[in-house]
Amino acid sequence: MNKKGYIGEFADTYKKDLNLPDEVKIFDTTLRDGEQTPGVSFTPDQKIRIARQLDELQVDVIEAGFPIVSKGEKNSVKKIVDEDLDTEICALSRSSDEDLETALDCNVDSIHLFIATSDLHLEKKLDLTREEALEKAVTSVEKAKENGVIVEFSAEDATRTELGYLKEIYEAVENAGADRINIPDTVGVATPKAMRNLTEEIKKVVDIPISVHCHDDFGLAVSNSVAAVETGAEQIHAAINGLGERAGNASLEEVVMTLRSLYDIKPRVKTEALVKTSSLLERITGIQVPPNKAIVGDNAFAHEAGIHVDGVLKSPGTYEALSPELVGHHRRITLGKHTGKKSVKKQLDELEIETTKEQLEEITARLKDIGDKGKIITDADLRAIAESVVGTLPREEKAVKLKEATVTTGSTVTPTSSIRLSVKGEDRIGSATGVGPVDAAIKALRDVMGEISELSLKEYHLDAITGGSDALADVTVKLEDKDNNLYIAKGVRDDVVLASVEAMVNGINRYFARKEEES
Ligand code: KIV
Ligand code: ZN
């Protein structure tokens, strides 16, 4: 293993040709661009709660809001400032007097000033000439600096702005006193190479730190952000869970871990708090993090395939690029059709369920069967399947084996079931009708099993193991013979009729086993 843990040497090979900065700052825009996510609106209390969490996460800048948009927004920004957090608190403002005064009124540490610079925006949206926009940008930067705040300037729609003019405006705001400039890829149209080139070009004309703000319209926000770092960008705008306007912003957790693990640049961010922060935003926004989301998704450190589980149990680095603890996550072994016996055994050990080799094989086969039907298997399902298998005799010793059970039912037909069993090696087929599908199947079973006439069904109990209409059915039956001996047995299947027949067959096998012992 190399010094960076599980990461291979390839990153080092390519790093030689890059102009990587020593440090990259994380400008968090969850509370501003993140709140522009369709359907998301934070209450002032929620904004404060999120700001505290971002402070705990140790991002470098918290963009708390856009004060001009409403009284409530302005108050929220002020309240966040009153929290007196360690992190730099920033407010967004267009390059206009009214916006700037409102933002300055919040006593923030920094102002993020912006004006659109692409011809498309200037003509269609702002009705300004390039010269007019440049003058507004410069005037607003000067005014903000007169008020003693840190100033970051964004040329909105920079990636669709003519390069000569873009350079001119960034140079002008630097001369006006801006502390950092930001390159927004407002509609996410850049590619990594374009972002690398653009950053390189802008770096030729400005000396202040360069930041990037990438949107995810083509799913490239994180790649574009780190590409900019390859040619010297010193700050990235990002939002927790990739929240933001339309398809969102670069996901903060992905940016941070990519920089840290693949580029060996360690942002200040306390990575162990990433999952906690992501979950907080998930709860507050109601927008679920997809399970397969990198770093923070439920499946980010879950392993199902037998080969993978075997590898991870021997040495986590075989199938984990980073350790789950580093981001506040945990490793999970999941069960499904790809599951191997070793994973099942491991899970059973955790549940303290002992099995024979045959029972383990039977449990694994049943899990694969359920997985084949596209269902998710939970710990509770595993426990129930295991108990049903471990509670029965090994396959070879079973007197009765269920071969097939079918039922026809509906609002206009009488429930009818046919059943095929092997009883001590002899094939038997029977059928019956009943008041419902389960009743019909149990009657069909009794129909072909003359030798159980003395057994009465004392109790029948059905549980759904997990919620949802595809939950496993867990059936327990209590059978009683004429001497009042009880035979309690379970059946667990994804079909209630099969689970019921299985429970009955397991009970009957116990009854046969007892009779055998007595004879
Ligand atoms: O996407 C964008 O251009 C923005 C600006 C306000 C920087 O969010
Ligand atoms: Zn944006």
By residue range, what is the domain housing residue 308? 302-390
**What per-residue confidence (pLDDT) applies to 49?**
98
Amino acid at 292: N
The verdict on residue 9 lying in a domain is no
Average pLDDT over residues 95-99: 98
Instruction: Give the end of a domain, one of 285, 313, 328.
Output: 285
pLDDT tens figures, 430-450: 999 999 999 999 999 999 998
Average pLDDT over residues 235-243: 98
For ligand 2, the distance from its centroid to the CA atom of residue 177, given in whole angstroms, is 23
DSSP string of 447-468, one letter each residue: HH-GGGTT-EEEEEEEEESSSS
The verdict on residue 270 lying in a domain is yes
**What per-residue confidence (pLDDT) applies to 465?**
66
128 and 251 in a single domain? The answer is yes
Specify the long-range contacts of residues 415-423, CB closer than 8 Å, at least 24 apart. 415/439, 415/440, 416/440, 417/441, 417/443, 417/444, 417/497, 418/444, 419/444, 419/445, 419/447, 419/448, 419/501, 421/445, 421/448, 421/449, 421/505, 423/399, 423/448, 423/449
265 and 121 in a single domain? The answer is yes
Q: Inform me whether the pLDDT recorded for 33 exceeds 90.
A: yes
Q: Inform me whether the pLDDT recorded for 378 exceeds 70.
A: no
The verdict on residue 321 lying in a domain is yes
For ligand 2, the distance from its centroid to the CA atom of residue 92, given in whole angstroms, is 11
For ligand 1, the distance from its centroid to the CA atom of residue 450, given in whole angstroms, is 79
pLDDT tens figures, 177-215: 999 999 999 999 999 999 999 999 999 999 999 999 999
pLDDT tens figures, 300-335: 998 877 778 778 888 888 889 999 999 999 988 777
Among the residue ranges 57-66, 150-159, 295-304, the one predicted with the least confidence is: 295-304
**What per-residue confidence (pLDDT) applies to 480?**
87
230 and 330 in a single domain? The answer is no
CA-derived radius of gyration, the chain: 32
492 and 450 in a single domain? The answer is yes
Percent of the chain at pLDDT > 90 equals 67
> Which atom of ligand 1 lies at the shortest distance from residue 184's CA?
3
81 and 193 in a single domain? The answer is yes
Q: Inform me whether the pLDDT recorded for 5 exceeds 60.
A: no
Choose which residue among 27, 213, 214, 246 to substitute to test ligand 1 binding: the one with the highest number of ligand atoms within 8 A of its C-beta.
213
Residue 3: pLDDT band with limits 50, 70, 90: very low
Q: Inform me whether the pLDDT recorded for 396 exceeds 70.
A: no
Q: Inform me whether the pLDDT recorded for 82 exceeds 90.
A: yes
Choose which residue among 31, 33, 151 to substitute to test ligand 1 binding: the one with the highest number of ligand atoms within 8 A of its C-beta.
33
343 and 412 in a single domain? The answer is no
pLDDT tens figures, 45-66: 999 999 999 999 999 999 999 9
Q: Inform me whether the pLDDT recorded for 518 exceeds 90.
A: no
**What per-residue confidence (pLDDT) applies to 7?**
67
31 and 58 in a single domain? The answer is yes
**What per-residue confidence (pLDDT) applies to 2?**
45
Name the residue with higher pLDDT: 393 or 265: 265
Residue 67: pLDDT band with limits 50, 70, 90: very high
The verdict on residue 217 lying in a domain is yes
Q: Is 364 helix (H, G, I), strand (E, B) or coil?
A: helix
For ligand 1, the distance from its centroid to the CA atom of residue 58, given in whole angstroms, is 23
Q: Inform me whether the pLDDT recorded for 19 exceeds 80.
A: yes
Instruction: Give the end of a domain, one of 390, 405, 439.
Output: 390
Report which protein residue has its CA nearest ligand 1's atom 5.
156
The verdict on residue 74 lying in a domain is yes
Q: Is 62 helix (H, G, I), strand (E, B) or coil?
A: strand
**What per-residue confidence (pLDDT) applies to 112?**
98
The verdict on residue 297 lying in a domain is no
pLDDT tens figures, 99-111: 999 999 999 999 9
472 and 379 in a single domain? The answer is no
Closest C-alpha among 112, 263, 139, 117 to residue 185: 117
**What per-residue confidence (pLDDT) applies to 434?**
93
Ligand closest in space to the Cα of 184: 1
CATH of the domain at 257: 3.20.20.70
User: Mean pLDDT of all residues in the chain?
Assistant: 91
Tokens linked to 518: 């007595």
**What per-residue confidence (pLDDT) applies to 392?**
59
pTM equals: 0.75
Residue 355: pLDDT band with limits 50, 70, 90: very high
The verdict on residue 176 lying in a domain is yes
Ligand closest in space to the Cα of 239: 2
Average pLDDT over residues 61-81: 97
**What per-residue confidence (pLDDT) applies to 42?**
95
How many separate helices (H) and strands (E) can be counted in the chain?
17, 16
**What per-residue confidence (pLDDT) applies to 102?**
98
Choose which residue among 61, 90, 114, 159 to substitute to test ligand 1 binding: the one with the highest number of ligand atoms within 8 A of its C-beta.
114
Q: Is 184 helix (H, G, I), strand (E, B) or coil?
A: strand
For ligand 1, which residues put their CB under 6 angstroms from it? 33, 114, 154, 156, 184, 186, 213, 215
274 and 306 in a single domain? The answer is no
For ligand 1, the distance from its centroid to the CA atom of residue 322, given in whole angstroms, is 32
Domain total of the chain: 3
212 and 228 in a single domain? The answer is yes
**What per-residue confidence (pLDDT) applies to 394?**
53
Q: Inform me whether the pLDDT recorded for 390 exceeds 60.
A: yes
Residue 6: pLDDT band with limits 50, 70, 90: low
The verdict on residue 273 lying in a domain is yes
Instruction: Give the end of a domain, one of 285, 318, 348.
Output: 285
CATH of the domain at 474: 3.30.160.270
For ligand 2, the distance from its centroid to the CA atom of residue 115, given in whole angstroms, is 12
371 and 505 in a single domain? The answer is no
**What per-residue confidence (pLDDT) applies to 380?**
67
Q: Inform me whether the pLDDT recorded for 24 exceeds 80.
A: yes
For ligand 1, the distance from its centroid to the CA atom of residue 104, given in whole angstroms, is 19
193 and 101 in a single domain? The answer is yes
Half-sphere exposure in the Cβ direction for 298 (13 Å, CA): 6
